Amino acid sequence: MARVAVVSNPLSGRNRRDPALSPALRAVTEPHHLFFDPASPQAIDAVAAELRQAGDIDVVCVNGGDGTLAHVLSALARTWGEDPLPEIGILRGGTMNTIAHGIGLTGRPEKILGRILARSEGQISQPTVVRHLMRVRDGLGPERYGFLFGNGVISNFLEAYYEGGDPSPWKGFKVLARATLSALFGGGFAARLTRPSPVRVSLDGTHWSPSSWMAVTAGTVDDMGLGFKPFWSVVGHPGRLQVLGFACSAPTLAMRIPGTLLARPWHHPDILDQLGQRLVLQADEPISYMIEGDFHRGGQQVEVSIGPPVRLIRR
Protein backbone atom coordinates (compact mmCIF):
# COMPACT_ATOMS: atom_id res chain seq x y z
CA MET A 1 0.00 0.00 0.00
CA ALA A 2 1.35 3.39 -0.97
CA ARG A 3 1.53 5.89 1.86
CA VAL A 4 0.12 9.36 2.38
CA ALA A 5 2.20 12.16 3.90
CA VAL A 6 0.67 15.12 5.73
CA VAL A 7 2.58 18.39 6.08
CA SER A 8 0.91 20.64 8.66
CA ASN A 9 1.70 24.29 9.33
CA PRO A 10 1.06 24.99 13.05
CA LEU A 11 0.98 28.74 12.34
CA SER A 12 -1.74 28.73 9.64
CA GLY A 13 -4.95 30.64 10.29
CA ARG A 14 -7.17 27.64 10.97
CA ASN A 15 -4.55 25.82 13.05
CA ARG A 16 -4.09 28.86 15.29
CA ARG A 17 -7.84 29.19 15.76
CA ASP A 18 -8.20 25.46 16.41
CA PRO A 19 -5.11 24.13 18.25
CA ALA A 20 -6.66 20.66 18.42
CA LEU A 21 -6.81 20.30 14.64
CA SER A 22 -3.21 19.36 13.91
CA PRO A 23 -3.02 16.72 16.69
CA ALA A 24 -6.29 15.25 15.42
CA LEU A 25 -4.88 14.95 11.90
CA ARG A 26 -1.72 13.35 13.27
CA ALA A 27 -3.80 10.80 15.20
CA VAL A 28 -5.58 9.51 12.09
CA THR A 29 -2.43 9.65 9.92
CA GLU A 30 0.07 7.72 12.02
CA PRO A 31 1.42 5.06 12.27
CA HIS A 32 0.62 3.77 8.75
CA HIS A 33 1.25 7.11 7.06
CA LEU A 34 3.61 10.04 7.67
CA PHE A 35 2.93 13.30 9.49
CA PHE A 36 5.20 16.37 9.61
CA ASP A 37 4.76 19.76 11.30
CA PRO A 38 7.90 21.70 10.24
CA ALA A 39 8.69 24.64 12.48
CA SER A 40 9.61 27.01 9.62
CA PRO A 41 9.36 27.30 5.82
CA GLN A 42 13.07 26.46 5.59
CA ALA A 43 12.43 23.10 7.31
CA ILE A 44 10.06 22.04 4.52
CA ASP A 45 13.03 21.29 2.24
CA ALA A 46 14.20 18.62 4.69
CA VAL A 47 10.68 17.16 4.74
CA ALA A 48 10.65 17.00 0.93
CA ALA A 49 14.03 15.23 0.93
CA GLU A 50 12.73 12.65 3.41
CA LEU A 51 9.61 12.04 1.33
CA ARG A 52 11.69 11.60 -1.80
CA GLN A 53 13.94 9.11 -0.06
CA ALA A 54 10.94 7.14 1.25
CA GLY A 55 10.02 6.28 -2.35
CA ASP A 56 6.46 5.11 -1.66
CA ILE A 57 4.63 8.41 -1.16
CA ASP A 58 1.78 8.79 -3.65
CA VAL A 59 -0.08 11.66 -1.96
CA VAL A 60 1.16 14.69 -0.04
CA CYS A 61 -1.55 16.52 1.92
CA VAL A 62 -1.01 20.12 3.02
CA ASN A 63 -2.71 21.43 6.16
CA GLY A 64 -2.20 25.17 5.92
CA GLY A 65 -3.08 28.17 3.82
CA ASP A 66 -2.19 29.08 0.26
CA GLY A 67 1.26 30.30 1.32
CA THR A 68 1.97 26.98 3.02
CA LEU A 69 0.83 25.17 -0.12
CA ALA A 70 3.25 27.22 -2.24
CA HIS A 71 6.16 26.50 0.12
CA VAL A 72 5.45 22.75 0.10
CA LEU A 73 5.02 22.62 -3.69
CA SER A 74 8.24 24.61 -4.15
CA ALA A 75 10.19 22.17 -1.98
CA LEU A 76 8.67 19.16 -3.75
CA ALA A 77 9.32 20.58 -7.23
CA ARG A 78 12.95 21.39 -6.41
CA THR A 79 13.45 17.91 -4.93
CA TRP A 80 11.60 15.85 -7.56
CA GLY A 81 13.20 17.65 -10.50
CA GLU A 82 11.90 16.28 -13.80
CA ASP A 83 10.03 13.36 -12.21
CA PRO A 84 6.23 13.51 -11.75
CA LEU A 85 5.17 15.04 -8.46
CA PRO A 86 2.97 13.17 -5.96
CA GLU A 87 -0.73 13.93 -5.97
CA ILE A 88 -1.56 16.87 -3.72
CA GLY A 89 -4.36 16.99 -1.18
CA ILE A 90 -5.23 20.50 0.02
CA LEU A 91 -6.77 20.24 3.50
CA ARG A 92 -8.08 23.83 3.65
CA GLY A 93 -6.18 24.69 6.82
CA GLY A 94 -5.74 28.37 5.99
CA THR A 95 -7.82 31.53 6.00
CA MET A 96 -8.65 32.05 2.32
CA ASN A 97 -7.96 28.60 0.79
CA THR A 98 -8.00 30.17 -2.66
CA ILE A 99 -6.55 27.24 -4.63
CA ALA A 100 -8.89 24.73 -2.95
CA HIS A 101 -11.86 27.00 -3.63
CA GLY A 102 -10.84 27.34 -7.27
CA ILE A 103 -11.06 23.57 -7.87
CA GLY A 104 -14.35 23.26 -5.99
CA LEU A 105 -12.88 21.54 -2.92
CA THR A 106 -14.90 22.12 0.24
CA GLY A 107 -15.09 20.64 3.72
CA ARG A 108 -13.15 20.55 6.96
CA PRO A 109 -9.52 19.35 6.99
CA GLU A 110 -10.25 16.15 8.91
CA LYS A 111 -13.06 15.18 6.51
CA ILE A 112 -10.91 15.79 3.43
CA LEU A 113 -8.01 13.83 4.91
CA GLY A 114 -10.34 10.99 5.95
CA ARG A 115 -11.57 10.58 2.38
CA ILE A 116 -8.02 10.62 1.00
CA LEU A 117 -6.78 8.04 3.52
CA ALA A 118 -9.77 5.77 2.92
CA ARG A 119 -9.21 5.78 -0.84
CA SER A 120 -5.49 5.18 -0.40
CA GLU A 121 -5.99 2.27 1.97
CA GLY A 122 -8.69 0.81 -0.29
CA GLN A 123 -6.41 1.24 -3.31
CA ILE A 124 -9.00 3.47 -4.97
CA SER A 125 -7.79 6.19 -7.35
CA GLN A 126 -7.98 9.74 -6.04
CA PRO A 127 -10.18 12.09 -8.09
CA THR A 128 -7.82 14.75 -9.41
CA VAL A 129 -7.65 17.79 -11.65
CA VAL A 130 -4.40 18.84 -13.33
CA ARG A 131 -3.00 22.35 -13.05
CA HIS A 132 0.48 23.55 -14.00
CA LEU A 133 2.73 25.26 -11.53
CA MET A 134 4.59 28.45 -12.36
CA ARG A 135 8.34 28.56 -11.76
CA VAL A 136 9.63 31.89 -10.40
CA ARG A 137 13.30 32.86 -10.50
CA ASP A 138 14.22 36.21 -8.96
CA GLY A 139 18.02 36.13 -9.10
CA LEU A 140 18.41 35.98 -5.33
CA GLY A 141 16.71 33.05 -3.65
CA PRO A 142 15.91 29.52 -4.77
CA GLU A 143 13.32 28.75 -7.43
CA ARG A 144 9.80 29.19 -6.12
CA TYR A 145 6.63 27.61 -7.44
CA GLY A 146 2.96 28.51 -7.26
CA PHE A 147 -0.22 29.12 -9.19
CA LEU A 148 -0.62 32.90 -8.71
CA PHE A 149 1.94 35.68 -9.20
CA GLY A 150 1.61 39.43 -9.04
CA ASN A 151 3.39 42.70 -8.38
CA GLY A 152 2.33 46.33 -8.10
CA VAL A 153 -1.31 46.76 -7.03
CA ILE A 154 -1.58 43.00 -6.32
CA SER A 155 1.20 43.14 -3.72
CA ASN A 156 -0.02 46.50 -2.42
CA PHE A 157 -3.55 45.18 -1.91
CA LEU A 158 -2.28 42.17 0.02
CA GLU A 159 -0.10 44.44 2.15
CA ALA A 160 -3.20 46.45 3.09
CA TYR A 161 -5.14 43.23 3.67
CA TYR A 162 -2.57 41.92 6.16
CA GLU A 163 -2.16 45.26 8.00
CA GLY A 164 -3.21 44.93 11.62
CA GLY A 165 -3.43 41.13 11.45
CA ASP A 166 -6.68 39.14 11.57
CA PRO A 167 -6.92 38.33 7.82
CA SER A 168 -10.27 36.88 6.74
CA PRO A 169 -12.51 36.80 3.65
CA TRP A 170 -14.68 39.51 5.23
CA LYS A 171 -11.65 41.76 5.74
CA GLY A 172 -10.63 41.10 2.14
CA PHE A 173 -14.02 42.27 0.89
CA LYS A 174 -13.82 45.39 3.07
CA VAL A 175 -10.36 46.31 1.76
CA LEU A 176 -11.51 45.72 -1.81
CA ALA A 177 -14.66 47.81 -1.31
CA ARG A 178 -12.62 50.61 0.23
CA ALA A 179 -10.12 50.50 -2.64
CA THR A 180 -12.90 50.50 -5.27
CA LEU A 181 -14.72 53.48 -3.76
CA SER A 182 -11.45 55.33 -3.29
CA ALA A 183 -10.57 54.76 -6.95
CA LEU A 184 -13.95 55.96 -8.19
CA PHE A 185 -13.71 59.17 -6.14
CA GLY A 186 -9.99 59.85 -6.55
CA GLY A 187 -9.05 58.99 -2.97
CA GLY A 188 -5.60 58.60 -1.48
CA PHE A 189 -6.04 54.94 -0.54
CA ALA A 190 -6.48 53.93 -4.17
CA ALA A 191 -3.59 56.18 -5.21
CA ARG A 192 -1.36 54.38 -2.71
CA LEU A 193 -2.38 50.95 -3.98
CA THR A 194 -2.24 51.72 -7.68
CA ARG A 195 0.95 53.78 -7.98
CA PRO A 196 2.70 52.65 -11.21
CA SER A 197 5.90 50.62 -11.08
CA PRO A 198 8.67 51.31 -13.64
CA VAL A 199 9.18 47.78 -14.93
CA ARG A 200 9.95 46.44 -18.41
CA VAL A 201 7.88 43.44 -19.41
CA SER A 202 8.30 40.77 -22.07
CA LEU A 203 6.27 37.64 -22.74
CA ASP A 204 7.87 34.86 -24.80
CA GLY A 205 10.44 37.35 -26.05
CA THR A 206 7.94 40.02 -27.16
CA HIS A 207 8.33 43.31 -25.31
CA TRP A 208 5.25 45.03 -23.96
CA SER A 209 4.62 48.75 -24.02
CA PRO A 210 4.57 50.99 -21.96
CA SER A 211 7.43 50.68 -19.46
CA SER A 212 5.41 51.54 -16.34
CA TRP A 213 2.61 49.34 -14.98
CA MET A 214 0.09 49.51 -12.19
CA ALA A 215 0.50 45.73 -11.96
CA VAL A 216 1.65 42.69 -13.87
CA THR A 217 0.11 39.43 -12.75
CA ALA A 218 0.02 35.85 -13.97
CA GLY A 219 -1.86 32.68 -13.10
CA THR A 220 -2.31 29.04 -14.03
CA VAL A 221 -5.60 28.81 -12.10
CA ASP A 222 -8.61 30.96 -12.88
CA ASP A 223 -9.62 31.97 -9.34
CA MET A 224 -7.56 34.63 -7.53
CA GLY A 225 -9.64 34.65 -4.36
CA LEU A 226 -12.83 36.28 -3.08
CA GLY A 227 -14.64 34.81 -6.09
CA PHE A 228 -12.72 36.84 -8.67
CA LYS A 229 -11.61 35.00 -11.81
CA PRO A 230 -9.28 37.30 -13.75
CA PHE A 231 -7.48 34.38 -15.42
CA TRP A 232 -10.67 33.27 -17.10
CA SER A 233 -9.11 31.47 -20.07
CA VAL A 234 -6.06 29.70 -18.60
CA VAL A 235 -7.82 26.49 -17.53
CA GLY A 236 -8.66 25.81 -21.17
CA HIS A 237 -5.01 26.23 -22.18
CA PRO A 238 -2.91 23.84 -20.08
CA GLY A 239 0.81 24.48 -20.25
CA ARG A 240 0.32 28.26 -20.54
CA LEU A 241 0.37 31.24 -18.20
CA GLN A 242 -2.33 33.86 -18.49
CA VAL A 243 -0.61 37.21 -18.01
CA LEU A 244 -2.34 40.53 -17.32
CA GLY A 245 -0.68 43.93 -17.53
CA PHE A 246 -2.55 46.94 -16.13
CA ALA A 247 -1.51 50.34 -17.48
CA CYS A 248 -5.00 51.83 -17.06
CA SER A 249 -6.25 54.34 -14.50
CA ALA A 250 -7.48 53.29 -11.07
CA PRO A 251 -11.14 54.13 -11.88
CA THR A 252 -10.95 52.04 -15.07
CA LEU A 253 -9.66 49.07 -13.10
CA ALA A 254 -12.30 49.56 -10.40
CA MET A 255 -15.09 49.57 -13.00
CA ARG A 256 -13.89 46.28 -14.47
CA ILE A 257 -13.19 44.31 -11.31
CA PRO A 258 -16.85 43.21 -10.84
CA GLY A 259 -16.77 41.58 -14.27
CA THR A 260 -14.17 39.13 -13.03
CA LEU A 261 -16.84 37.59 -10.80
CA LEU A 262 -18.40 36.37 -14.06
CA ALA A 263 -15.05 35.50 -15.68
CA ARG A 264 -15.50 38.23 -18.30
CA PRO A 265 -12.64 39.33 -20.59
CA TRP A 266 -11.11 42.71 -19.75
CA HIS A 267 -11.61 44.38 -23.17
CA HIS A 268 -9.62 47.59 -22.63
CA PRO A 269 -6.67 48.94 -24.65
CA ASP A 270 -4.67 49.68 -21.48
CA ILE A 271 -5.14 46.18 -20.05
CA LEU A 272 -3.06 43.54 -21.83
CA ASP A 273 -4.30 39.95 -21.53
CA GLN A 274 -2.17 37.26 -23.18
CA LEU A 275 -1.22 33.61 -22.88
CA GLY A 276 2.41 32.54 -22.90
CA GLN A 277 5.08 30.41 -21.30
CA ARG A 278 7.80 32.81 -20.12
CA LEU A 279 7.24 36.21 -18.52
CA VAL A 280 10.23 38.44 -17.69
CA LEU A 281 10.10 41.58 -15.54
CA GLN A 282 13.10 43.92 -15.45
CA ALA A 283 13.61 47.08 -13.41
CA ASP A 284 16.37 49.39 -12.18
CA GLU A 285 15.63 48.48 -8.56
CA PRO A 286 14.65 45.29 -6.70
CA ILE A 287 11.27 43.89 -7.72
CA SER A 288 8.74 42.95 -5.04
CA TYR A 289 6.12 40.34 -5.85
CA MET A 290 3.75 37.83 -4.31
CA ILE A 291 3.17 34.12 -4.82
CA GLU A 292 -0.09 32.82 -3.34
CA GLY A 293 -0.29 35.79 -1.00
CA ASP A 294 3.29 35.49 0.31
CA PHE A 295 5.59 38.49 -0.25
CA HIS A 296 9.05 38.20 -1.77
CA ARG A 297 11.70 40.70 -2.79
CA GLY A 298 13.89 39.71 -5.68
CA GLY A 299 16.62 41.24 -7.78
CA GLN A 300 16.24 43.51 -10.77
CA GLN A 301 14.94 40.68 -12.99
CA VAL A 302 12.17 38.22 -12.18
CA GLU A 303 11.31 35.38 -14.55
CA VAL A 304 8.00 33.52 -14.38
CA SER A 305 7.74 30.43 -16.58
CA ILE A 306 5.53 27.40 -16.91
CA GLY A 307 6.44 24.67 -14.46
CA PRO A 308 5.51 21.03 -13.95
CA PRO A 309 1.93 19.76 -13.90
CA VAL A 310 0.49 18.77 -10.55
CA ARG A 311 -2.55 16.59 -9.83
CA LEU A 312 -4.76 18.25 -7.21
CA ILE A 313 -7.26 16.05 -5.38
CA ARG A 314 -10.62 17.69 -5.90
CA ARG A 315 -12.88 16.01 -3.31
Q: What is the pLDDT of residue 191?
A: 62
Q: How many residues does the chain have?
A: 315
Predicted confidence at residue 17, as pLDDT, reads 85
Give me the pLDDT at residue 249, please. Answer: 80
pLDDT tens digits, residue range 274-297?
A: 999 999 999 999 998 999 988 888
pLDDT number for residue 30: 95
Amino acid 178: pLDDT: 75
For the chain, domains (ranges, CATH) are: 3-126 (3.40.50.10330), 146-307 (2.60.200.40)
Ranges of the chain whose pLDDT falls below 50: none
- pLDDT for the residue 228: 78
Report the alpha-carbon distance of residue 178 to residue 163 in Å, rounded: 14
Question: What is the predicted pLDDT for the residue at 89?
Answer: 98
Q: What is the pLDDT of residues 98-107, one digit of tens each?
A: 999 999 999 9
Return the sign of the alpha-carbon dihedral for residues 65, 111, 24, 49.
Answer: negative
Q: Which residues pair with 7 in a beta bridge?
A: 36, 62
